[in-house]
Chains A and B, each alone.
Chain A
Amino acid sequence: MSENKLKMSSSPHIRSKVTSANIMLYVTIALLPASAFGVWNFGVSALVMLICTTASAVLTEYIYEKLMHKKITVNDFSAVVTGLLLGLNMPPSAPWWMGVLGGVFAILIVKQLFGGLGQNFMNPALGARCFLLISFTSQMTTFVYDGVTGPTPLAQLKSGEVVDSMSMLLGRIPGTIGETSVIAVIIGAIFLILMGIIDLRIPGTYIASFVVFIGIFGHFANPDVGFFDPQYITAHLCGGGLMLGAWFMATDYVTSPITKKGQIVYGMLLGILTGLFRLFGGSAEGVSYAIIIGNLIVPLIERVTFPKPFGKGGEK
């Protein structure tokens, strides 16, 4: 009889082949152009920093889960992505132990203590970056390029100097390891979009609202700049961590809203906050703080934008 071959089960019957490990592997691959460019641009010290952050993130995850008798989730690449992203956010001249400390902080405190992958309330890499930025401000904001310590283009822009947008696009400028080359970041982002890992909703609204904010308020921060000055806007778009943040960190699944409307609100919030910090804040860069504050507001955004079930009569 054939009755034994019939299995009864509830839906879902068709499951996606995509797993967390797949997604994280794709993100790792997408980060490689920016990493490779960073190593080429800054030399061995950048490579050492990337290895330190990644290795310490993975090891911390392994040791913590071993000690706590939890399932070892090192194989899902999420710790690799966190470590690599943190490394890309570090200045190449920072000492190696700072990278190790950041990796441990990201995984242990921001991720595992809140329950591991899927439970962290803010992006671990950015949490660790802000921890290091507050703790070691001078080392984290000293950028050495070609043996010379100089201001980043954003800092020059803030003090009213003229910057060369072309070298900012290519990435031949001082900055953190992964943020300098807009082209390398965009290559990775295009790969992620083609693979269907991220969509344009968050990065698109982030960048668009940032452009509008800078276009309008740039004039108030720096009277020499006109409204919607194309050169000023281009320099702001290519400078600092905006591209890396918008494509790789604002789109983190765990810490961004799941509702479509929520993602648009979130993107706009990030754009406005980043513009606000860059133009009127104390330091020249504000992407990491903007995304972290955005992360904290995500639960509220989701609550407000939760879709109404169809056919339930709608709002009363």
Chain B
Amino acid sequence: MNNCTERIYNGLVKENPTFVLMLGMCPTLAVTTSAVNGVGMGLSTTVVLVLSNMLISMLRKIIPDSVRMPAFIVVVASFVTIVQFLLEGFVPSLYDSLGLYIPLIVVNCIILGRAESYASKNPVLPSIFDGIGMGLGFTVGLAAIGIVREVIGTGAIFGQQILPLADAAAGTGGYVPVTIFILPPGAFLVLAFLVALQNKVRNNAAKKGKKVTEPAGCGEGCASCGNSACGGNVFPTGNEK
């Protein structure tokens, strides 16, 4: 596996920002009320992530170490502003439903984390692929949560009604949506179950003797860990040392 495809695999599976690193929980919980919102948020973040990784990697020898954070923020904020105007102009409905969370991409810890821990230390091409991988991992995570919440909470998927709804007035039976799933508590329930499911898969794989890839540097505790993207936020998966 060459370096670029490895970065994509790393972002999608090994260090999936949503289910493994538990980064960017704020948009994850807040905007995934439907699959469309989840995918929209994921892709917007991906665009910003790829572009900011690229630019920061290009500038990595110019940015002085002592002011790197403000410099990163300026770069990220510029791209977020561009994305925000594009969304507002071309997909106003998505812009309305994501609302405040688009400007908040500026402080999304995935983007700053990748800038700090990867793009500022690596060449341009791997940084771009790192951005694509992480962004797609985030998109997949948000889409999965969004799909589950939308199906249970409204009986629809990507806005298409797949379960016929019960109509009390007409007396017809059908699916009665469990509204709590499109409300905030539902986000926590679905996230918890999906994380539990992925831990179960990893644990089973570990039992069968398959090599389970751990998030980088997480076996030794946070003190000796070089992965500042994590910020000590990774929950134990039960199969760590």
- Which positions in A face B, CB cutoff 8 Å? 101, 109, 131, 134-137, 139
Give the complex CA separation of A135 and B184 in angstroms. Answer: 12
- 16 more A-B contacts (CB under 8 A) besides A109-B189, A135-B178? A101-B178, A131-B180, A131-B185, A134-B179, A134-B180, A134-B183, A134-B185, A135-B177, A135-B179, A135-B180, A135-B181, A136-B176, A136-B178, A136-B179, A137-B179, A139-B176
How would you classify the secondary structure of chain B's contact residues: helix, strand, loop or mixed?
A: helix
Which residues does chain A contribute within 8 Å of B178, judged by CB atoms?
101, 135-136
Closest chain B residue to A137 by CB distance?
Answer: B179
A-B contact pairs, 18 of them (CB 8 A): A101-B178, A109-B189, A131-B180, A131-B185, A134-B179, A134-B180, A134-B183, A134-B185, A135-B177, A135-B178, A135-B179, A135-B180, A135-B181, A136-B176, A136-B178, A136-B179, A137-B179, A139-B176
Note all chain A residues with C-beta closer than 8 A to B179: 134-137
Q: How far is the CA of A120 from the CA of B183 in the complex (A)?
A: 23
| Chain B residues whose CB sits within 8 angstroms of the CB of A139 once the complex forms | 176
A268 to B222, CA, bound (A): 43
| Cα–Cα distance between A109 and B179 once the two chains are bound (Å) | 17
In the bound complex, CA of A139 to CA of B185 (Å): 20
Minimal beta-carbon separation of B146 from chain A (angstroms): 18
Q: What are the 8 tightest A-B residue pairs by CB atom distance, in nearest-first order?
A: A135-B180, A135-B178, A134-B180, A135-B179, A131-B180, A134-B183, A134-B179, A136-B176
Chain B 151-177 interface residues, beta-carbon cutoff 8 Å to A = 176-177
Q: How far is the CB of A126 from chain B (nearest CB, A)?
A: 14
A137 to B180 Cα, complex, angstroms: 10
Q: Which positions in B face A, CB cutoff 8 Å?
A: 176-181, 183, 185, 189
The residue of chain B having its C-beta at the shortest distance from the C-beta of A138 within the complex is B168
Task: Please give me the residue from chain B that is nearest to A109 by CB atom.
Answer: B189
CB-based nearest B residue for A98: B176
Contacts of A136 in B (CB 8 A): 176, 178-179
How far is A109 from B178 in the complex, measured between Cα atoms in Å? 16
- Chain A residue numbers with a CB within 8 Å of B177 are 135
CA separation between A246 and B179, bound complex, in Å?
Answer: 29
When C-beta atoms are compared, the residue in chain A nearest to B185 turns out to be A134
Contacts of B176 in A (CB 8 A): 136, 139
Closest CB of chain A to B196's CB: distance in Å? 9
Report A-chain residues with C-beta under 8 Å of the C-beta of B185. 131, 134
Bound together, the chains give a CA A101 to CA B175 distance in angstroms of 14
Please, which residues of chain B bring their CB within 8 A of the CB of A101? 178
In the assembled complex, which residues on chain B have CB atoms less than 8 Å from the CB atom of A137? Answer: 179
CA distance A137 to B177 in the complex (A): 11
> Within 8 Å CB of B183, what residues of A?
134
Please name all residues of chain B whose beta carbon is closer than 8 Å to the beta carbon of A134 when the two chains form the complex. 179-180, 183, 185
Name the CB-closest residue of A to B181: A135
- Which residues of the other chain, A, contact B180 by a CB distance below 8 angstroms? 131, 134-135
Q: Please give me the residue from chain B that is nearest to A95 by CB atom.
A: B176
CB distance from B4 to the nearest CB of A (A): 40
The smallest beta-carbon distance between B63 and chain A, in angstroms, is 45
Q: Residue of A at shortest CB range from B152?
A: A135
Complex Cα gap A266–B189 (Å): 27
Most-contacted residue by chain B among A101, A109, A135, A139 (CB, 10 A): A135
| Residue in B179, B180, B183 whose Cβ sees the most chain A Cβ within 10 Å | B180
Min CB distance A106 to B, Å, is 14
Q: Complex formed: what's the CA distance from A50 to B178 in Å? A: 21
What's the least CB distance linking A135 to chain B, in Å? 4
A131 to B185, CA, bound (A): 9
Cα separation A232 to B27 with both chains bound (whole Å): 46
CA distance A139 to B181 in the complex (A): 17
Query: For residue A142, which residue of chain B has the nearest CB?
Result: B168
In whole angstroms, how far apart are the Cα atoms of A182 and B189 in the complex?
Answer: 36
Among B177, B178, B185, B189, find the residue whose CB has the most chain A CB atoms closer than 10 A.
Answer: B178
Question: Closest approach, in angstroms, between the C-beta of A293 and any C-beta of chain B?
Answer: 14
Q: Could you tell me the distance between the alpha carbons of A167 and B176 in the complex, rounded to whole angstroms?
A: 35
With A and B bound together, what is the CA distance between A137 and B179 in angstroms? 9
Q: Which residues of B contact A109 (CB under 8 A)?
A: 189
Alpha-carbon gap, A98 to B180, bound state (A): 14
B175 to chain A, nearest CB (A): 11
Q: Write the nearest CB–CB distance from B166 to chain A, whole angstroms.
A: 10
Q: How far is the CA of A109 from the CA of B185 in the complex (A)?
A: 13
Whole-angstrom CA separation of A244 from B189 in the bound complex: 28
In the complex, what's the smallest C-beta–C-beta distance from A139 to chain B, in angstroms? 8
C-alpha spacing A101/B152, complex, angstroms = 13
CA distance A135 to B180 in the complex (A): 5
A240–B230 Cα distance when bound, in Å, is 48
Q: How far is the CB of B62 from chain A (nearest CB, A)?
A: 50
How far apart sit A136 and B189, CA to CA, in the bound complex (Å)? Answer: 17
Interface core residue of A131, A134, A136 (most chain B CB under 10 Å): A134
> In the docked arrangement, what's the CA distance between A135 and B16, Å?
31
A139 to B176, CA, bound (A): 11
